[in-house]
Structure 1
Amino acid sequence: MLQRNRTFEVGQIHFGSSTTLCKHIMLPLLQTFVEKNPHIRVTIDGLSSRETALQLTANKMDIGLLVETSASKSLAFTPLTDLSYTFVASRQYLENLKLREGIDYTKKDPAFFQKATLMLMDHENISRQHIEAYFSANSIETRQILETSNMELLIEFAKIGLGVSCLIRNFVEKDIKNGTLIEIPLRKNISTRTVGFAYSKESVHNPAVAKFKQILKETYGK
């Protein structure tokens, strides 16, 4: 059996990532990895960035795709790109809001956020905490909030006109360009955050991790 495993390069690799980051960033890398290493077993845990960092610190997984936080500072971290945040809604929702509340989203009026139904990640999510810090720093008050633990749902909720979603702009650029979603102009932009891959200390002993790092280098040059 050992000889057979060596022949087919059987191994295993354990990832952690949120659903949204996995869909938009990790999936293409995983596709290439599986094509090149079809016999390596892949496990993926759907976790928040904070939870992923904790699992990596405890050596309970090999690699995590996460937004850089204080919890990930002690881990080996390879940054990939910066994530930009934005508020979006359907054109129909914004037109109805103007008719109902007399508020024009193009005026950059802070009162817009009091009149609109805001759709945000739940309080435990680090993106939500980042946005709450933005609200506080810019004296923006909110009243009507719909919460969810899944950013993919926030995207779909915005498209059907349920309210104004706070999303990672990188993942809805196509929808903004084709007019499916309308971007809300802000007086001050929301600061970006860095996303990348973090590794547990034990991962250096896993040959499958080395193979994934090679694909990462070929794709991102990192």
Structure 2
Amino acid sequence: MSLRHCIVFLDDEADLAAALAEYFTDLGHEALVAADGIALEALLRSRAVDLVVMDLNLPGRSGFDLLAEMEALREVAVIFLSGRAETVDRVIGLELGADDFLSKPVDPRELAARAASVLARRGRGMRALLTFETTSADLALARVLRADGTTETLSGGEVALLRTFAAHPHRVLTREDLIAQAPAEDAAALDRAVDARVARLRRKLDTGWIETVRGHGYCFRPPWRD
């Protein structure tokens, strides 16, 4: 299962950027719109972004300029969109480090397929960051991040639980499933020990998305679907 990705759209056609962001949000991603290169750079410096989809022809600095000059942009995947279909533009874009190049008008379904392919090649099929209602869980750092800037450590067993839930959204997992896929860090891997671990994890994340299914187990129900 691919966890949702953070994708930023930058286009001189504000309506197009908003429409694409809405489409990708419906697919379950976190889709943001940057008004210009300055806003894009601020986003890249303030949060984990997986992919930037941007127009080649932008007011001020072009997409080529941004990719060549913005160091933070080189750390994420980039797909160029352009109304110009010249081969030389594609070649320059790819030589500068873009991952893909699409001509306008673009079909959102094709863009989504290209984005999935680019992210898979970049090894970002599974994000290290899971976003909940008011918190985020950084699985790589094993920490809960809160909006007020405070953090809390996640144990190895809690990270394993989160990875298991994230890999099986909207599917009921029995206690036996959780014990097998996310074993406890000590010998106390009994059914009720799983209940305590899940309860503790929900408290840390302040989430209602990990639901108890009476008589069966637990289900992770985020508001998006793959």
Give the TM-score normalised by structure 2: 0.24
Greater helix proportion? 1
- Give the number of the structure with larger relative contact order, counting CA–CA contacts within 8 Å between residues 6 or more apart: 1
Give the TM-score normalised by structure 1: 0.25
